[in-house]
């Protein structure tokens, strides 16, 4: 803060030396100041201008508490011939907490002297003194801005009709994490970041506007390097949630989806039936191969008790099943593995019956 304060004083003094229009009535060539005349004072602020408004927004200091720390430094100037002793005002955002106002002399490094203030809505008012023939004091306004939802936003209205004065110069210092970025817009939603000639100093970005045309700034701090994998995960999760809640409605309106579901159910039923049939066939084959006889003899023993007519009937029935199986497979209602397994079982049975009939 001391560095910023020195910077403000330097700029202010340079302006005073270069442009006589920024001088104070009553200032002599040797920079001597006149004694304050208590009679020569006024409460009217018609000759009071806000020369500079420095705003420091710190998003790191109280990050664990989800709060922004804001410190404003205001330099008022008395352009009249009478000393000012009256009300000074500034605008603060909604929800502001922990407001502190202090006063310090421009050429001193002491801590600000606390000042009593009062608040009416967004307007903060305090009693100030600005002599016509002396360097103006520095007024500091500190406050906290809670961000309960983790959002980091800040707004400042400079010109509030009949109450606040628009600064001739605005400085904005934003302190944020290296993975965060700041967007600054005016009251019309137009970006004014580039016009502030931003420069980076450590974790801070500084902006300067001379004779700004805007009356309000809106600051938004966001993460600039979010992990792609993390984003993809949230996107996928969001899509799954949407599908879960919307599927019943889509299914009700779409006949193709219902037909597809029915096809899957039928396929699963056929698969269960095929597995049962295959298991029975395997059990039969195991039973038929329990004796160490040649293959032909083993296969024939399974039909020793059947007559030729019975074997013919069994062969026709198995051929009919094989034909139905081929039709099911050709229609696309059966998996390849399921078809091959049943086909092999039926064909083996037919071959055994044929050998028995020979």
108 and 158 belong to one structural domain: yes
Alpha-carbon torsion, ordered 301, 306, 311, 313, to 10 deg:
-140
Q: What secondary structure letter does DSSP report for 135?
A: P
Nearest in space to 86 (alpha carbons), one of 169, 163, 167: 163
CA distance 203 to 58: 10
Comparing CA positions, the residue from 274, 313, 295, 310 lying closest to residue 352 is: 295
**Burial tier of 135 (Cβ tally within 10 Å: 0-12, 13-18, 19+):** buried
Q: Judge whether 234 lies within some domain.
A: no
Number of compact structural domains in the chain? 2
Residues 181 and 53 in one domain: yes
The rounded distance, in Å, linking the Cα atoms of 52 and 27 is: 21
Q: Distance of CA 25 to CAs 16, 45, 230, Å?
A: 12, 16, 63
Does residue 276 sit in the same domain as residue 220?
Answer: no
Q: Are residues 304 and 184 in the same domain?
A: no
**pLDDT tier for residue 308 given thresholds of 50, 70 and 90:** confident
Domain boundary among 206, 225, 244: 225
Look at residue 237 in the predicted model and tell me its pLDDT: 81
Q: Is it the case that residue 108 has pLDDT exceeding 50?
A: yes
Quote the tokens at residue 220. 């938004």
% of the chain surpassing 70 pLDDT: 72
Domain that holds residue 186: 2-225
Q: List, for residues 31-47, the tens digit of each pLDDT value.
A: 444 444 557 899 999 99
Q: How far is CA 54 from the centre of its chain?
A: 29
Report yes or no: 216 and 156 within 8 Å, Cβ to Cβ: yes
Measured CA distances, 63 to 149, 212, 219, 247 (Å): 12, 31, 16, 41
In a domain, 239, yes or no: no
CATH number, domain with residue 114: 2.60.40
Domain boundary among 187, 206, 225: 225
In the chain, the percentage of residues whose pLDDT exceeds 90 is 41
Give me the chain's average pLDDT, please. 80
Q: Is the pLDDT of residue 102 over 70?
A: yes
Are the beta carbons of 158 and 53 closer than 8 angstroms?
A: yes
Q: How confident is the model at residue 313 (pLDDT cuts 50, 70, 90)?
A: confident
- Three-state SS at 173: strand
User: Which pLDDT does position 287 carry in this prediction?
Assistant: 54
- List of residues 6+ apart from 278 with CB closer than 8 A: 341, 342, 345
Predicted confidence band at 247 (pLDDT cuts at 50, 70, 90)? low
Q: Is 70 exceeded by the pLDDT of residue 87? A: yes
Residue 271: pLDDT band (50, 70, 90) is: low
| Residue spans of beta strands (DSSP E) within the chain | 41-42, 48-58, 67-78, 83-91, 97-104, 113-114, 117-120, 123-130, 138-146, 152-157, 169-175, 180-185, 199-201, 204-210, 216-223
Q: Of 29-43, 60-74, 161-175, 331-345, which range is least confident?
A: 29-43
How are beta strands 204-210 and 169-175 bridged, if at all? antiparallel
Q: What is the DSSP string of 192-223?
A: -TGGG--EEETTEEEEEEES-S-SEEEEEEEE
Is 249 within the bounds of a domain?
A: no
Same domain, 214 and 330: no
259 and 133 co-located in one domain: no
Q: Is residue 109 part of a domain?
A: yes
The answer to whether residues 86 and 215 belong to one domain is: yes
Per-residue pLDDT reduced to its tens digit, 287-298: 554 444 444 444
Quick one: how far is CA 60 from the chain centroid?
Answer: 18
pLDDT higher than threshold 80 for residue 6: no
Could you tell me which residues are beta bridge partners of residue 309?
none
- Return the ∠ at Cα 212 (arms to 211 and 215), rounded to 5°: 130
Neighbours of 223 (CB within 10 A): 12
The reply to whether 9 and 90 lie within a common domain is yes
**Cα 128 to Cα 102: distance, rounded to the nearest angstrom:** 11
What is the structure's pLDDT at 338? Answer: 82
- Whether residues 33 and 143 fall in one domain: yes
Residue 227 has pLDDT above 60, yes or no: no
Q: Mean of the pLDDT values across residues 69-77?
A: 96
Confirm whether pTM is higher than 0.85. no
- What is the mean predicted confidence (pLDDT) over 315-322? 89
Are 284 and 220 found together in one domain?
Answer: no
Q: Give domain status of residue 129, yes or no.
A: yes
Residue 194 lies in a domain: yes
Residue finishing a domain among 225, 245, 269: 225
- Say if residue 332's pLDDT is above 80: no
Q: What is the pLDDT of residue 205?
A: 95
Same domain, 22 and 155: yes
Helix 336-357, helix 255-288: angle, nearest 10:
40
Rg of the Cα trace of the chain? Answer: 44
For 129-171, write each residue's pLDDT tens digit: 999 888 899 999 999 999 877 778 999 999 998 889 999 999 9
Q: Is residue 248 part of a domain?
A: no
pLDDT at 186: 96
In this structure, are 71 and 173 located in the same domain? yes
Structure tokens given for 102: 């202090």
Place of tokens 């998003």: 59
Is 240 part of a structural domain of the chain? Answer: no
pLDDT at 297: 43
With cut-offs at 50, 70 and 90, classify the pLDDT of residue 251.
Answer: low
């Amino acid at each position: 803060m001391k560095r910023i304060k020195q910077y403000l004083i330097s700029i202010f003094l340079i302006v005073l030396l270069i442009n006589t229009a920024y001088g104070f009535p009553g200032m002599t060539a040797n920079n001597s100041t006149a004694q304050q005349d208590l009679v020569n004072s006024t409460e009217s602020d018609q000759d009071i201008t806000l020369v500079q408004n420095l705003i420091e927004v710190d998003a790191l200091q109280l990050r664990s508490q989800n709060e922004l720390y804001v410190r404003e430094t205001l330099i008022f100037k008395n352009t009249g011939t009478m000393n000012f002793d009256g009300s000074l005002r500034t605008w603060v955002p909604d929800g502001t907490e922990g407001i502190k106002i202090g006063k310090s002399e421009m050429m001193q490094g002491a801590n600000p002297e606390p000042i009593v203030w009062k608040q009416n809505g967004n307007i903060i008012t305090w009693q100030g003194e600005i002599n016509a023939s002396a360097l103006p004091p520095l007024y500091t306004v500190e406050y906290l801005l809670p961000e309960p939802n983790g959002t980091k936003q800040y707004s400042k209205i400079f010109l509030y009709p009949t109450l606040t004065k628009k600064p001739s110069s605005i400085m904005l210092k934003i302190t944020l994490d290296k993975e965060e970025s700041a967007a600054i817009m005016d009251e019309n939603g137009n970006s004014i970041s580039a016009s502030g000639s931003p420069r980076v100093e450590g974790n801070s970005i500084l902006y300067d506007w001379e004779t700004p045309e805007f009356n309000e700034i809106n600051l938004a701090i966001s993460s600039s390097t979010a992990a792609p994998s993390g984003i993809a995960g949230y996107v996928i999760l969001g899509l799954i949630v949407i599908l879960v809640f919307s599927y019943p409605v889509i299914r009700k309106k779409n006949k193709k989806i219902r037909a597809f579901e029915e096809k899957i159910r039928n396929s699963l039923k056929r698969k269960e039936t095929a597995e049962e049939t295959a298991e029975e066939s395997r059990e039969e084959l195991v039973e038929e191969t329990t004796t160490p006889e040649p293959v032909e003899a083993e296969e024939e023993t399974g039909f020793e008790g059947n007559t030729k007519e019975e074997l013919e009937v069994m062969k026709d029935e198995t051929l009919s099943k094989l034909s139905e199986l081929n039709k099911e497979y050709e229609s696309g209602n059966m998996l390849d593995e399921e078809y091959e397994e049943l086909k092999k079982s039926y064909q083996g049975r037919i071959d055994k019956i044929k050998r028995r009939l020979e």
